[in-house]
Amino acid sequence: MSSQENISNQLESYSTPLKISSENPFEDFQVPKETLENRKIIGMGEATHSSKEFHRVRHRFFRFLVEELDYRIFAWEASFGETLEINNYVVNGEGTAEEALSSISSPIFRTEEILNLVGWVREYNKQVSDNEKVKFYGFDMQNDVASFKKLREKMQEVDSDFIEANDEALKFIEEGKMMFAEIDKEKEAELRDFITDLENQVKQKQDEYLETISEQEYGLLKQLVEILGQCRKYCLAMNENAEFDMDSWTFRDQCMAENISWMMDFEDEENAFVWAHNAHIKKGGKPENPESKALGYYLDQRYGEDYYSIGFDFGTGSFKYLNMEEPRTEWNGEKSFDKIHENTLAQELDHIEEPFFLDFTSIPNEGLKKWITQEHRLHTAGTYFHLETIEDHYDKLRLRENFDALIFIPEVSAINPV
């Protein structure tokens, strides 16, 4: 028996078979339940942003966490401001699921699979009390125009004089022009001063604002200001000529971790389900840059064993892509990993025919323990794709250093856009 076949046999012995459909009952989740029930944050990754099986497993997994473990926060790698309309729909029922989802600018999230998830959350929330309702939040902050427009709306309500005095700066920001590459140092200094003034204004006039809005609305206003400040610094970090002590990728992930902690505090919830790409969920950083740190690193530093990270990989299959050379808001097309490449995790698991869940934290087998500490090449395809270098779309990672569990799906297919 080859070592590859031996690992496959061990995986079949110690892993949990996993059903894909979100409609299936939860019998196959009962083993993971014992591992998950005492965690505070479950991070679930994906090896591509646009393969439907990842979405379906996520939907089913989240249903399990809500119905069995009382999770009430769904946090995802989407812009904070854009997801406020979705949260308003699932909590208050205003509008339709389709209208709520249309608030998202990226095609990553405008899918039939996510529409089904949003619809399920709304139906669930209809049946429970207000303090049991599930909330939807995005934790990203990249040039989040929707947040900036919502910020103007909130400030107009409590401090119209400040809005009038700073209308030009707000319009510039709302038009998405804050990316550092598009502005000179003088404009950057102007924006920095404006945001500092805004932060001071909101802090100093708290009592006055609370005469008009509730404490919860004031808390949301402060977070919108925080998102604006994060975005300005992120844009600064993207400029390689600027003086900034952190690369943009690491700074973004640090901010996303802070935003997740904020939403848990804001909603007074002990638990959160976090969805992002493997590249963010993992506990390390970029393989080519040991100094970089992922979202999962910061969650692990803050929550320790209370953070549980689930990585994904697959054998073959398809996904949607955007061409990095021609950025747009609709998919360019579809791409496939139509064969198993050599020296990859997919090749090592080629003998396995059914999806599985493997918890790394409780493996008794020494051979399998050693296997998860070794480096493996996992698929990694984000929103943008280098069309002529599909073999390069892998990350070399030590599984146990980066994840607490692995979900493997032998074959995937592209999402259904809406």
Give the DSSP per-residue string, 289-353: -TT---HHHHHHHHHGGGEEEEEEEEEEEEEEEEETTS--SS--EEEEE-SPPTTSHHHHTTT--
Phi, psi of 247 (to 5 degrees): -70, 160
Dist CA 109 CA 122 (whole Å) = 17
Between 3.40.50.150, 3.40.50.10240, 3.40.50.720, 3.40.1660.10, what CATH number should domain 3-64+313-412 receive?
A: 3.40.1660.10
Tell me the CA distances in angstroms from 176 to 255, 256, 330, one per residue in order: 19, 20, 18
Q: What is the pLDDT of residue 238?
A: 79
Q: What is the pLDDT of residue 386?
A: 64
Residues carrying CATH 3.40.1660.10, the chain: 3-64+313-412
Please classify residue 167 by burial: count the beta carbons closer than 10 Å to its beta carbon, then call 0-12 exposed, 13-18 middle and 19+ buried.
Answer: exposed
Q: Annotate 279-313 with b (16+ C-beta within 10 A) or e (fewer).
A: bbbbbbbbbeeeebbbbbbbbbeebeeebbbbbbb
Dist CA 84 CA 155 (whole Å) = 16
Please classify residue 181 by burial: count the beta carbons closer than 10 Å to its beta carbon, then call 0-12 exposed, 13-18 middle and 19+ buried.
Answer: exposed
Dist CA 170 CA 30 (whole Å) = 51
Dist CA 162 CA 155 (whole Å) = 8
Low-confidence ranges of the chain (pLDDT < 70): 1-5, 22, 24, 180-182, 240-245, 324-328, 386-389
Q: What is the pLDDT of residue 388?
A: 64
- Residue 292's Cα: distance from chain center in Å? 18
In sequence order, what are the residues at sequence separation of 6 or more whose Cβ sits closer than 8 angstroms to the Cβ of residue 50? 107, 108, 111, 319, 320, 321, 331, 414, 415
394 - beta bridge partners?
A: 379
123-175 pLDDT tens trace: 999 999 999 999 999 999 988 999 999 999 999 999 999 999 999 999 999 98
Q: What is the pLDDT of residue 289?
A: 79
Q: Which of 40, 58, 39 minimizes the C-alpha distance to 49?
A: 58
In sequence order, what are the residues at sequence separation of 6 or more whose Cβ sits closer than 8 angstroms to the Cβ of residue 208? 158
Q: Annotate 350-364 with b (16+ C-beta within 10 A) or e (fewer).
A: bebeebbbbbbeebe
Phi, psi of 159 (to 5 degrees): -155, 65
Dist CA 379 CA 314 (whole Å) = 7
- Residue 305's Cα: distance from chain center in Å? 20
Q: What is the pLDDT of residue 214?
A: 97
- Residue 144's CB is within 10 A of a number of other CB atoms, namely 28
Contact (Cβ atoms closer than 8 angstroms) between residue 174 and residue 149? yes
Q: Which of 269, 308, 276, 357 minimizes the C-alpha distance to 70?
A: 269
Dist CA 238 CA 234 (whole Å) = 6
**Bridging pattern class, strands 135-140 and 307-323:** unpaired
